[in-house]
Structure 1
Amino acid sequence: MGKKGAAVRRVGVAKGDTVFAAPFMAFAVVAIAAGIAHLVVAPPSSWTLVLAVIASVIICGPFHIRIGYDRGFPRAGVSIVMLAIEPLAGAPFIGVCIWAMGVVIAQTWLRRNFWLALYTTGLATVGAVAFVAVRNGLDALGVWLLPSFVVATAVFYGVVLLAEFARQWGREEVDRGVSASSVKPLRVAFLVAVVSVTATLIHYIDATVISWLESDPNVSLTPFVVLLAGSLFYVLAQRSRSDDIEARLSAVVDAAIELPRESGESLGTALVSRARGVVRANTVEVREAAPAGDEIGAPVSLRAGSEQYVVASRKLGGGAFSRDDQRAIESLAHLTSEAARMQYEVDSLEQRANTDPLTGLPNYGAFQQALIEANEHRAYHEGIALLFIDLDNFKKLNDNYGHRAGDALLRVVATRLERSSGGGDFVSRVGGDEFVVIFTGLVSIDQAKEAADRVIAALSERMDLEGHDLKPLVSAGLAFSSHREVDAQSLVEDADRTMLQAKRSRRQGAVATGSTVSISSHRSTRLNDIVARAIDGNRLMLAFQPIVDISTGKIWAFEALTRYVDPELGPISAPSLIARAKSLGLMNALTEQVITKALHAAEQFRALEPSVSCMTVNLDLGQISDAELGPFLREAARSHPEISLCIELNERSLRSVTDELRRDAENLQEAGLIIALDDYGSDDSSVGALVHFPMNILKIDKSLIGNLEDSRQRELIKALQGFGDNLGHTVVVEGIESAAVAETLRELGVRSVQGYHFGRPQSFALTRDRLRRTGTRAELS
């Protein structure tokens, strides 16, 4: 709902309140008028007592007891206790009218709104009439003093609350000040007990103790008793107010700590949230219009050169905002404005420090930081590429057309780079006529080359420059990185070297007919050599991740995963390692090494824990054929009869399965190998893969448990587990990262799971130490 709609809704509520409140306001006027008339026509025998009652009601007016669950929800006063002593003997209902005089004065002072005070007085007076009627009726029946006050007090608060429920019935929950669900019964009972006991004590002291102390029959100490009771509640009110101020100050201090941490829209959201808690309002908003009527607010600047207002309306519990509320919201607005101003100044300084003033692109310093972040914060298997661009003959253009034309060309190049590179790529000017583009989220060097060609084609379009028709020529070098670099600067060096080679070839006689992109062969060749040496030298390492039975809390298998850390480049991602091994024709050699080392590790794990006898490894579908690794796999299984060797085949690869490969899989099962269908559900999964290919284990991809609050995901997991149980397959759910997910899966009937919650992939030494230390216990300590 927009601002106009919200304003209309507020007006509608106000009109409804006025209609409801009118009878109570009239009743208050009649009661007060009746009391004044009676005092004028028949002056009381003791004006002191009358004035004492009025003064005591005013004095104890600030004291309220919270009866709602939240600190801002309804607070109830205790001034009804002053009717424990009748100000006019034999005229109890005139006593109520005199009591109402004190209430209207106290409420006007507290609420700062006469009409709201009049409504409150009328409502309280109706309850007071019921209080007196019940109290006198029970007294006439001979009911003891305390029980009669308990019942009369309960009736008083019941009348007041029922009227408030009726006034706010039908409103949205957020707009209610009082509702049945917001009132805490135990606090209401406590309030009734406090008022009843106090009223009983006042009545008893006046009737017994004071009568015994009075030596002069013409002097009454009853007004003293009334004033003493009112003063006691006033002291308690000041103590309560002190606690409230302390809590409010603490909230403002917390806001002073929190607000400077926010920026932009989140700063406004934090301000609204803090203000709603500090001033206890139903509605707090940041808007263009200043506060009006019973609202409070203060100007606030969330952006440079822009001033709005933070406005609070409708106090929780139906009360009026106090001066402390106004001061608190002013403090919050000031803190927010200062936080926004400091953030703006910091951002401006940072932008000036990291921006090229001519083109508006990030400068060399910003580029260095962006390159480090792109390298370190990418997913392990995600590639990045660096395109280094140099404008050809830029000096000659400056000499021929002037520096103004050169500056114009640089600005056009910057604009074209930003437009063509894509929103997720980083563009920077790093030198006089040198630019770089960082491409992220890549899977191959071919994808990087396509992106670079697109950028260079856009740069090379003809342009009108200071009245001259010009087609820019650039030399560009592209360096691709498929793994996280130890030193990201090596990527810059390779791209720069490749760009200079392209520029040098032009100077050595190549015809400069168009812009070119040269790919760094140095990096590609170097990575190929590193992978080949690692495989030929049998340097690959394995990491082991446990597969656990959550019904018993025990580890029953491990999955072996390939790892390699080059002394120069650092860790090489498994996807990059596999891709290079395939391109070099070394995939079978890599797989043989992995299986050999995995089975050797499995023997040692089993020596420590005999129940852990299964080891799983990942294979390509084609590798199971007799033409490739079929004979090796069968021999490996025979050589380790006490180990269950499981080969995991990716579900996507089974789309190209042939009858011959299906027979090869069956032969492996006959030889004692276990076959697992891996990553089921990670893509457009086919039901055919479940029924047309022999398997023993079904591994469910973590994408199918991304939101287990969704009943559809839960039902799917239950169905897959049921499928596995009916056909004798073991179902393993992958990607378990919390105890809550594991417990939910256990409730769904899942038994076997795998994921970081039960252990990340670890080296052989660390896995062996874990088995020695905790055995097969699944939970990490």
Structure 2
Amino acid sequence: MFTRMGATQRDSAFAAPFVAFALATIGYGIFGLIAWPPHSWTLVLTLIAAVSIAGSFQMHVGRTPGFPLVGMAITMLAIPPTEHSPLFGVCIWAIGLLVSQLVLRRDVLQAFYVTGLNSLAAFAFVAIESSLSVLGVWRPFSFVLASIGFYAIFLLGEFARQWVRNRPARGFGLATLSLPRAGVVVLIVSASSTLIHAFDTTVIPWLEHDAGARRTSFIVLLAALIFYVIGQRIRYAETERRLTGILDAAIELPHVTGESLAATLQDRARAIVQTNQVTLRSTGPGPGEIGSEVSLEPGTTQYLVVGRKVDGMPFSRDDARAINTLANMASEAARAQNEVISLERRANTDTLTGLPNYGAFQLALDDANENRPYHDGVGLLFIDLDNFKHLNDTFGHPAGDELLRVVAERLQSASGGGDFVARVGGDEFVVILTGKVSLEQAKEDADRIIEAISQPLTLEGSDMVPVVSAGLAYSSHRELSAQTLVEDADRTMLQVKRSRRKGEKGDSSVVGISSHRSSRTNDIVARAIRSNRLSLAFQPIVSIDDGQIWAFEALVRYIDPELGPISPPSLVARAKSLGLLNELTMQVVTKALTAADEFQKLEPSITCMTVNLELNQISDNELGPFIRETASARPHLSLCVELNERSMRSLTDGLRHDAEKLQQAGVIIALDDYGSDDSSVGALVRSPMDILKIDRSLIDDLGDPRQREFIKALQGFGTNLNHQMVVEGIEHPEMVDIMTELGVRNAQGYYYGRPLSFALTMDRLKRHGTQAVVT
């Protein structure tokens, strides 16, 4: 039934029994005061006033701000207000609590709910304390146990309310309770109750030299005033926290853009107002909500709307002002950013074609060179239109301008939006090819782009075919200066033009490749492998269930003293083309297992090391015997070879037999990168494997229920066939929560650790052991 009801309806339904209990308790209290008039009306009225005053003093006992909050007014029951019954005192106490809650919350339903829940817990407090006192238990100890009983009942009720209200949201379980904070509150309440009781029964009679002397009303009121002063100090600290949050937002918001600006704005609102219900929407706030207009995109107005606070308290004027301030700051930050973007666009755009100009190209090339992923290469395609001057002279400059616009449109269309296209001269264009793992892949893209440019068109009533000369330079490593790519590509383009003038290239468009750079990198890679200069980086594989590292993946690395780091895909591709792939792989396996020995000396629970192999390398004609012998030489370790899922399309019966021989020798086989590109179900069924590694592309949109269901299905597949499943690409704790919910048990990704060198990995193990997350 709850799943069909809104949050407010569920909240009201849950609160109803407690409201009824509060009404019954207060009603019985009023009836009892009339039926059995108390010995001291002064004490009764003082207790009601004291509870009303102390009711504003609440302490935070959760791990995150805002929830749960617990009150301290229960200390006012350390002394029974009437002689009728200790439990009857709860009914009088509930009257004062209701008054305080009506003032604090300004919501009748919430006030009665809190009063009812607290009254239920207060009955337990009085019953436990009275029973223990009758048994002769030491008074401070009886107050401790009574306080524990009170807060246990109250917190269970609050957790149940939050679960009902936020179902099926996560994050409101008992794990949000901070036991040290709760313990401090119990000690404060039990100590205060003990002092109040001791002053009334022992200290005052001793000071008055009269065993029957009592100043109960004064003591209760004094204790309430002390709590009130402390509560005001806490409220001041809360105001200071809110102001600090606004100042932090003022510093942070101008430095984030786009979706990040919206996300940061909502995060700041949640933290400052302490709520889990913050949205950006087209409609303004409704009943029980606060909000403010915000403009994060030119010409678009939204509302930053905040729903109910997690502690159930009403929004204050300070909350509304804070939200209004945040919205104004975000709007101003977005306006300033849009103005800067507009100015930069005009300064960096070619007015004729709308493409970026030479200045923008230089910035983009430097960025692609400096900030590319470690395994990606960068290609630069330099394009020159042939006979452009002749075209202008024949048809006029408007025709030349039209041709430039057509070429620009074709370049943008052919690049698919993933590559950077710019006009850098009168008839010269460049394309920055990013995310390429080999020269061959860059060449394929270049050919496709040139073919698109060279399609026939009609210009000034005449049919023509654009002809271009192009030069391609490719770099698999970070260049000391990105300008060297421009020089290589430009030099190669000029060579193509000279060859065309000599009649060697014909009349069609041609792409030339910079051979100087490619052969130089080949020499560097060959020298590094033959000299055994390769190094390894190690990335942890962890168990989500117990939060511990159980394996490492070894990843090859090489940094040339002159050229800098060479990407692993390029390193492997060049080693393969040079006939050195097996030698590279043997070095990686040997170094990885040597490192695993050292890791195990520090942490014996780390027993597995994984390395990447090409499928055909497992055959007996290549590295099969070496892998089996190396694994057998270290029976205390498990060697895992990761075979790329894409390579499984060429799996033969012979290779399947070789894989089974590896398994018989104790080698673990992992199917790597499942889910990338054109993965097939057949690979899961036909491939011998012990571990299934899920590619990060399958968890790039975990908000999509289809993606979640697929991950859950794969985990079920692995469990049923006794395969381990490892999900790659885990980058933040929210992804861990979702994986846990889907039943995933093993993971790998930057959240648990980036690939680190041997020395840094050893340092991590010495400092943190096998702890999965290092903070």
- Name the TM-score, length of structure 2 as normaliser: 0.63
Q: Aligned match of 1:681 in 627, 643, 650?
A: 643
Letter of the structure 2 residue corresponding to residue 544 of structure 1: R
Is the CA contact 1:287–1:311 (under 8 Å) kept in the aligned structure 2? yes
**Cα–Cα, structure 1 residues 292 and 655, in superposed 2: closer, same or farther, change >3 Å?**
same
**2:423 aligned to which of 413, 418, 429:** 429
Is the 8 Å Cα contact of residues 60 and 67 (structure 2) preserved in structure 1? yes
Cα 1:133–1:61, aligned 2, differ >3 Å: closer, same or farther? same
* Equivalent residue number for residue 305 of structure 2: 311
Pairwise CA distance, 1:214? 6.3
Shift in Å, 1:106: 1.1
Matched, 1:475 2:437: no
Query: What letter matches 1:195 in structure 2?
Result: V
Please state how far the C-alpha of 1:364 moved relative to its aligned partner. Answer: 0.7
Match of 1:112 in 2: 106
Does residue 1:17 correspond to 2:10, yes or no? no
Please tell me the residue identity of whatever aligns with 2:385: D
Query: Within 1, Cα distance between the matches of 2:52 and 2:620?
Result: 89
CA distance in 1, matches of 2:119, 2:576: 90
**8 Å Cα contact 2:133/2:139 also seen in 1:** yes
Q: Distance in 1 between matches of 2:415 and 2:351?
A: 21
Structure 1 distance, partners of 2:536, 2:100, is 72
Deviations 1:570-614 (A, max 9, x none): 99999999999999xxx89x99xx99xx9xxxxxxxxxxxxxxxx
The match for 2:515 among 507, 524, 531 is 524
Choose 648-657 or 419-428, whichever is displaced more: 648-657
**How far 1:472 sits from its partner (Å)?**
4.7
Q: Which consecutive unaligned segments of at least 5 residues does structure 2 have? A: 538-555, 588-611, 627-638, 675-683, 693-754, 761-775
Give the partner amino acid of 2:387. Answer: D
Q: CA contact under 8 A between 2:668 and 2:691: conserved in structure 1?
A: no
Q: Which residue of 2 aligns with 1:758?
A: 758
Q: Are 2:125 and 2:150, in contact at CA under 8 Å, matched by a contact in 1? A: yes
Which residue in 1 is equivalent to 2:277? 283
Distance, in Å, in 2 between the alignment partners of 1:562 and 1:111 is 64
Instruction: Give yes or no for the alignment of 1:82 onto 2:76.
Output: yes
Q: 2:533 pairs with 526, 529, 544, which one? A: 544
Residues 570-581 of structure 1: matches in 2 within 5 Å?
Answer: none
Residue 633 (structure 1) aligns with? none
Paired letter, 1:524: S
What residue number does 1:776 align with?
A: none
Alignment of 1:13-162 (within 5 A): 13-27=10-24, 30-31=27-28, 34=31, 38=34, 48-88=42-82, 90=84, 96-129=90-123, 131=125, 146=140, 149=143, 153-154=147-148, 156-161=150-155
Larger radius of gyration: 1
Report matched runs for 1:594-609 at 5 Å. none
CA distance in 1, matches of 2:16, 2:240: 38
Equivalent-residue separation in structure 1 for 2:309 and 2:573 (angstroms): 65
Q: Residues 364, 679 of structure 1: CA spacing in aligned structure 2 closer, same or farther, 3 A cutoff?
A: farther
Determine the C-alpha separation between the residues in 1 that align with 2:286 and 2:74.
Answer: 34
Change (3 A) 1:200 1:219: closer
What is the DSSP-based 3-state SS (H/G/I as helix, E as strand, rest coil) of the residue aligned with 2:351? coil
- Aligned equivalents of 1:320, 1:264: Cα separation in 2: 32
CA contact (8 A) 1:87 1:95 kept: yes
Matches within 5 A, 1:241-256: 241-256=235-250
Deviates more, 1:406-415 or 1:482-491: 482-491
- Number of equivalent positions: 622
TM-superposed deviation, 1:77: 1.6
d(CA) in 2 for partners of 1:24 and 1:437? 74
Counterpart mapping for 1:449-528 below 5 A:
450-464=444-458, 468-481=461-474, 487-493=481-487, 495-496=489-490, 499=493, 515-517=508-510, 519=512, 523-524=514-515
Task: Give the Cα–Cα distance (whole angstroms) in 1 for the partners of residues 454 and 419 of structure 2.
Answer: 19
Q: Is the CA contact (8 Å cut-off) linking 1:388 and 1:495 kept in structure 2?
A: no
Counterpart selection for 1:386 from 367, 381, 396: 381
- Specify whether residues 476 and 166 from structure 1 end up closer, same or farther in structure 2 by C-alpha distance, changes over 3 A only: closer
Q: Which amino acid in 2 is paired with 1:54?
A: I
In structure 2, do the counterparts of structure 1 residues 340 and 702 end up closer, same or farther at CA, with 3 Å as the change threshold? farther
Contact 1:394 1:433 in 2 (8 A): no
For residue 368 of structure 1, give the secondary structure of its aligned residue in structure 2: helix
Query: What is the CA–CA distance in structure 2 between the aligned matches of 1:227 and 1:578, rounded to whole Å?
Result: 80
| Structure 1 stretches lacking a partner, 5+ long | 549-559, 599-647, 666-676, 718-754, 761-781
- SS of the equivalent of 1:74 reads strand
- Contact preservation (8 Å) 2:10, 2:164: no
1:170–1:315 CA distance, 2 compared to 1 (3 A): closer
Spell out, residue by residue over 1:315-339, the C-alpha distance to the aligned partner (whole angstroms, 9 max, x if none): 3344444444444444444444444
Question: Taking structure 1 as reference, are residues 97 and 415 closer, same or farther at Cα in structure 2, changes over 3 Å only?
Answer: same
Q: Secondary structure at the match of 1:316?
A: coil
CA shift for structure 1 position 426: 2.5
Q: Which amino acid aligns with 1:424?
A: G
Matched AA of 2:473: F
Matches within 5 A, 1:356-755: 356-375=350-369, 377=372, 382=377, 384-390=379-385, 392-393=387-388, 396-397=391-392, 400=395, 403=398, 405-440=399-434, 450-464=444-458, 468-481=461-474, 487-493=481-487, 495-496=489-490, 499=493, 515-517=508-510, 519=512, 523-524=514-515, 542-545=531-534, 652=616, 681=643, 683-684=647-648, 688=654, 715=690
User: Is the Cα contact below 8 Å between 2:438 and 2:570 reproduced in 1?
Assistant: no
What residue is the counterpart of 2:707 in the other structure?
A: none
Residue 277 of structure 2: SS of its match in structure 1?
A: strand
